[in-house]
């Protein structure tokens, strides 16, 4: 049924408009008395596979990556699909419109997306109001069914690189009290100069400042770690040497984990008409073509950090076997996004229930 809906309704429609339409519909349905509960029965059955990660009680190990809910307006509705955690954002200290449209494209043959959104969001202060309302709405659910909420923060486009630390600090002050965990995003290809902040010299002061600010504004963190867990999201296009350097830096600077990986700017992951189209357009590629490099980076990070840091794997997850492979390769959590556009709202619950997603510890091997 979803394939028919996608072909007849969403496929002819601009990708960003289709996203807003489907997301709005889900939020409206969740607010109708009794229907939100029915959605959870239909979509999220069998997804309770509890795991403690980052000192937090995750309902399961599969979550929704940042980018879907940029402003934190639909966390409760998205939880009806069965996700164990939902990462909101990327949110910047100041509201910004993002890049000009069109800025989101489907690469149909590759089951991929190309985006150059540019961190379009309403800013940290408005997001704090939105997430506060979502937390109140989630409080009506049984505790075991409430997703963990991650908040992903990035640099405001108009803020110069030399003021990046202060910009991240401003977002942290607003959002850390509402976050189960925080993510520093320095790896999107769609904000000019952002990826330069992945250098050790630029990244270390950001990690230190965000960590110290979160400790200052959050007296009672939700995590058993005793502080708001802090992760760094890195790009798949880094050299292996740079990945190792960031691993060492993250551990040294007091980060708790890494998210691997963001979208890629490498057009060689595509073939045919999709490759030709992507070479004419700016932006990052997500979806199945990213799987190989994402898995490579995951294995490298796992070999480098051991059990010292938490690892979240994202990029190219297509089914339950992919989730099993990421957990077996060293991930503690797995995030998804692009494939849901092609496979629909039943897909998250299906892959969570899939073979091997019940692994309880990192690197124990698939079933």
Give the residue ranges of the annotated binding site for FMN: 66-70, 90, 152, 185, 233, 261, 287, 316, 337-338
Q: Which residues are annotated as a binding site for substrate?
A: 70, 115-119, 185, 190, 262-263
C-alpha separations of 179 from 7, 176, 275, 290 in Å: 37, 5, 38, 28
In angstroms, how far is the first alpha carbon of the chain from the final one? 30
From the candidates 22, 188, 286, 324, give the one annotated as an active-site residue. 188
Residue 139 in contact with residue 178, Cβ under 8 Å?
A: no
171 a catalytic residue: no
Residue whose structure tokens are 């999220």: 44
Residue 332 in contact with residue 61, Cβ under 8 Å?
A: yes
CA distance 65 to 261: 10
Q: Which residues are annotated as a binding site?
A: 66-70, 90, 115-119, 152, 185, 190, 233, 261-263, 287, 316, 337-338
Active site residues: 188
């Amino acid at each position: 049924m979803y394939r028919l809906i996608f072909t007849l309704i969403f496929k002819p429609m601009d990708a960003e408009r289709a996203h807003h339409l489907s997301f709005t519909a889900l939020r409206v349905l969740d607010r109708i008395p009794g229907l939100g509960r029915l959605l959870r029965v239909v979509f999220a059955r069998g997804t309770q596979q509890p795991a403690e990660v980052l000192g937090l009680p995750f309902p399961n190990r599969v979550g929704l990556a940042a980018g879907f809910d940029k402003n934190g307006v639909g966390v409760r509705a998205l939880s009806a699909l069965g996700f164990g955690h939902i990462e909101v954002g990327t949110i910047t200290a100041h509201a910004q419109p993002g890049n000009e449209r069109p800025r989101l494209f489907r690469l149909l043959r590759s089951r991929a997306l190309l985006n150059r959104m540019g961190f379009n969001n309403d800013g940290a202060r408005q997001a704090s109001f939105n997430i506060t309302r979502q937390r109140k709405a989630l409080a009506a659910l049984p505790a075991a069914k409430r997703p963990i909420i991650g908040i992903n923060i990035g640099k405001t486009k108009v803020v110069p690189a030399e003021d990046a630390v202060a910009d991240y600090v401003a977002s942290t002050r607003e959002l850390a009290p509402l976050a189960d965990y925080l993510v520093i995003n320095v790896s999107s290809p769609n904000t000019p100069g952002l990826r330069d902040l992945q250098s050790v010299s630029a990244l270390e002061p950001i990690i230190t400042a965000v960590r110290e600010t979160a400790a200052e504004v959050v007296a009672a963190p939700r995590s058993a770690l005793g502080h708001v867990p802090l992760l760094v999201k890195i790009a798949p296009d880094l050299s292996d040497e740079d990945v190792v350097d960031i691993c060492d830096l993250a551990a040294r600077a007091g980060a708790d984990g890494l998210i691997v990986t963001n979208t890629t700017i490498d057009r060689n992951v595509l073939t045919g008409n999709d490759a030709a189209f992507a070479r004419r357009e700016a932006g990052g590629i997500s979806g199945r073509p990213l799987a190989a490099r994402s898995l490579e980076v995951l294995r490298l990070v796992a070999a480098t950090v051991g059990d010292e840091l938490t690892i979240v794997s994202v990029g190219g997850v297509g089914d339950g076997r992919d989730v099993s492979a990421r957990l077996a390769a060293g991930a503690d959590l797995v995030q998804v996004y692009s494939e849901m556009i092609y496979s629909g709202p039943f897909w998250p619950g299906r892959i969570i229930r899939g073979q091997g997603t019940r692994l309880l510890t990192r690197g124990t091997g698939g079933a």
